[in-house]
Structure 1
């Protein structure tokens, strides 16, 4: 038996030696199989389009930029890339490092950039503002921020200024982007459909091609976030520094809607925000009413906090109502209710506020009413906020 095992071992060893000799570099054209596997190209793209519109939603400018990054199934073997674009008219190319260097400059100028943004916000609002009191406040704030801007620029240290200069020199020295770059930014002349192809060639000269149809969409204005007056019910929180915390929440007719809510003060740290909240007595005779501007077709998320007394059952309702309603009774009609949420005091703890959210669609409305009502026990609401749902 051992004799047979001994013979088998040497037969296997001989086979291995034989196979090894077939791929020896010393034997030309023997055992070397041709590599017929070419690269498998692919690429990723990211829409980095930027644009600016005025307050009347007229386009001021738009850059239809897309970041393209090529890849393949190969690792590091001298792979070459070649992009193509159809139609190619007026398509330009940007070095991928340019936006990175610009962001680094912004970071160095962070204190200055923050003030510039505050000025830009107010300059954006001015042309379309019709309330003279608000115009006066915006202009005064711009003057104040411009003075802060001068001081912030003067306060930039020599080290920061040198860093900015170095980054600007790097931008100047950037080579132009080419269709042979693995990663680059395509700047399209406008909306449309473009065929972007990629050819990948390996170090053996083998290549493959892939392409995608890229749709460049028309730039659209950013949906503005609605403004809620006195959202935290704090004194002096109106745009001009005035207000008793509830001036923005008074209905146009107390006989049709009910009297405005009361204000409840608490020590710091108890309320979700500030020192004051809205208070609704148990008899349900007080309301909160505020019209806000919305963008037709947009979807919004309204958030707020509630708290209750616990001596009996009670609830509080926050509704989004159409401006077609001219009274509290009409606001309760299903045809006028856009969205509504009711929360009660079951399981609640005194002075512990709970956060809620309502998602609603503006539909064809340019304005809606935020309506606050309660019943059963003293209830409080605080810290309203609204965002555009993306």
Structure 2
């Protein structure tokens, strides 16, 4: 019996050794499988185009630039990249680090750059202004900013100047961008469709290609943010440093715009000396409980654009009352017409139900300009004394 067990043990051991020898790397044609997986290329892109238009929306310049970054499923050494662009006429290749180095220079000269940008913004507006008084104010602002700019430039330290020079030297030393770079910026000659291909080759010599159509869109003017004058009803907040907080909100005609057909319609003002009690500043618009006062202001808008108007309201809570903020077509001529659906672009009514006296709450109205080049902000109230503050408007993206 012992002899049989001994023979069985060695028999099993022999089978195991035999099986192990079958997977030995020392045997010809036997061993690990060769990795036949090739690269799967892809690329990401980011549009970094810039453009400039004058106040009549005439294009002054446009740089149609897109940042391309290649990738693949393999993280192997020696991977090579080859870009192709069709049509290729007129394209320019830009080193990926150039915008970064330029931003670092701007960061070193942050105060100087901020003043230069503010001056440029105002100088852009001046030719667009028809109001000579406003032009005079803008020119005075430019002169004051230029004086600040001269001081800021003189205050730049030697260390900062050296840092800027070092960055400029890095820009000068950048190698030319090539179609073999993993990441590069391509400047296109103009809008249109371009076929951008990418070939990725791994360190074993295997290659794969991906290609897609990249659409470069025509530059369009930035939609201007409308200006609301005296938005928080503060004294001296007009462009020239004047105003009593109400001047920009007066209806063109008391009789036409009064809810009662006659009488004074100009809003009243509530003020406080305690900072932070109001959403903004120290004054708010007051609408007495009789509903006789209205707010009216026409603002410029861009046809086809969509906007968000925000503001804050507050109510006396002694009895029921509400306040309505409407966006009206510019040809609306009086209070009666302001109630007609065809003249109301958008409207919002808020009541004092559930509200707490002396606590302001923010609201928003979204509206489309349609074919209008201007709209009217019009406010009425009923029931109880109501207040509004801190109007603001933004372009909805």
Q: Say yes or no: TM over 0.5.
A: yes
Q: Supply the RMSD in Å over aligned alpha carbons.
A: 1.8
Residue 273 (structure 1) aligns with: 280
Counterparts of 1:14 and 1:358 in 2: how far apart (Å)?
Answer: 82
Residue 180 (structure 1) aligns with: 180
Q: Does 1:17 align with 2:23?
A: no
Go from structure 1 to structure 2 and tell me whether the alpha carbon gap of 1:202 and 1:143 turns closer, same or farther (over 3 Å shift): same
The CA deviation string for residues 2-51 of structure 1, in whole angstroms up to 9 with x for no partner, is x6996897478436623430xx2x44554353433210000001111100
Offset at 1:351? Answer: 1.2
Residue 145 (structure 2) aligns with: 145
Counterparts of 1:275 and 1:203 in 2: how far apart (Å)?
Answer: 70
2:298 is aligned, of 285, 291, 295, to 291
Q: Does 1:347 align with 2:350?
A: no
The CA deviation string for residues 62-114 of structure 1, in whole angstroms up to 9 with x for no partner, is 00000000000001332110000000001011000000011111111111111
Offset at 1:118? Answer: 1.1
Counterparts of 1:377 and 1:174 in 2: how far apart (Å)?
Answer: 69
Q: Does 1:51 align with 2:57?
A: no
The CA deviation string for residues 116-174 of structure 1, in whole angstroms up to 9 with x for no partner, is 11111111111111001101001111111111110111111111111111111111111
1:385 is aligned, of 378, 387, 392, to 392
Residue 214 (structure 1) aligns with: 214
Residue 130 (structure 1) aligns with: 130
Go from structure 1 to structure 2 and tell me whether the alpha carbon gap of 1:15 and 1:81 turns closer, same or farther (over 3 Å shift): farther
Mapping 1:91-106, distance limit 5 Å: 91-106=91-106
Aligned to 1:316, the other structure's residue is in SS state strand
Conservation of the 8 A alpha-carbon contact between 2:22 and 2:30: no
Counterparts of 2:182 and 2:37 in 1: how far apart (Å)?
Answer: 21
Residue 86 (structure 1) aligns with: 86
Counterparts of 1:285 and 1:234 in 2: how far apart (Å)?
Answer: 22
The CA deviation string for residues 246-294 of structure 1, in whole angstroms up to 9 with x for no partner, is 1010111111113111000022111000000000000110000000000
Question: Is the deviation greater in 45-54 or in 73-82?
Answer: 73-82
2:267 is aligned, of 261, 280, 296, to 261
The CA deviation string for residues 285-319 of structure 1, in whole angstroms up to 9 with x for no partner, is 00000000000000000001000000000111111
Aligned to 1:271, the other structure's residue is in SS state coil
> Which runs of 5 or more residues in structure 1 are unaligned?
none
Conservation of the 8 A alpha-carbon contact between 2:197 and 2:211: yes
Q: How many pairs are equivalent?
A: 386
Counterparts of 1:310 and 1:180 in 2: how far apart (Å)?
Answer: 71
Offset at 1:350? Answer: 1.4
Q: TM-score, normalised by structure 2?
A: 0.94
Go from structure 1 to structure 2 and tell me whether the alpha carbon gap of 1:8 and 1:302 turns closer, same or farther (over 3 Å shift): farther
Counterparts of 2:11 and 2:364 in 1: how far apart (Å)?
Answer: 78
2:367 is aligned, of 345, 351, 360, to 360
The CA deviation string for residues 161-199 of structure 1, in whole angstroms up to 9 with x for no partner, is 111111111111111110000000010000011000000
Counterparts of 2:295 and 2:356 in 1: how far apart (Å)?
Answer: 23
Counterparts of 1:209 and 1:192 in 2: how far apart (Å)?
Answer: 23
Conservation of the 8 A alpha-carbon contact between 2:313 and 2:388: yes
Offset at 1:332? Answer: 1.0
Go from structure 1 to structure 2 and tell me whether the alpha carbon gap of 1:184 and 1:16 turns closer, same or farther (over 3 Å shift): farther
Q: TM-score, normalised by structure 1?
A: 0.96
1:313 is aligned, of 312, 320, 339, to 320
Conservation of the 8 A alpha-carbon contact between 2:96 and 2:184: yes
Mapping 1:211-250, distance limit 5 Å: 211-250=211-250
Mapping 1:109-128, distance limit 5 Å: 109-128=109-128
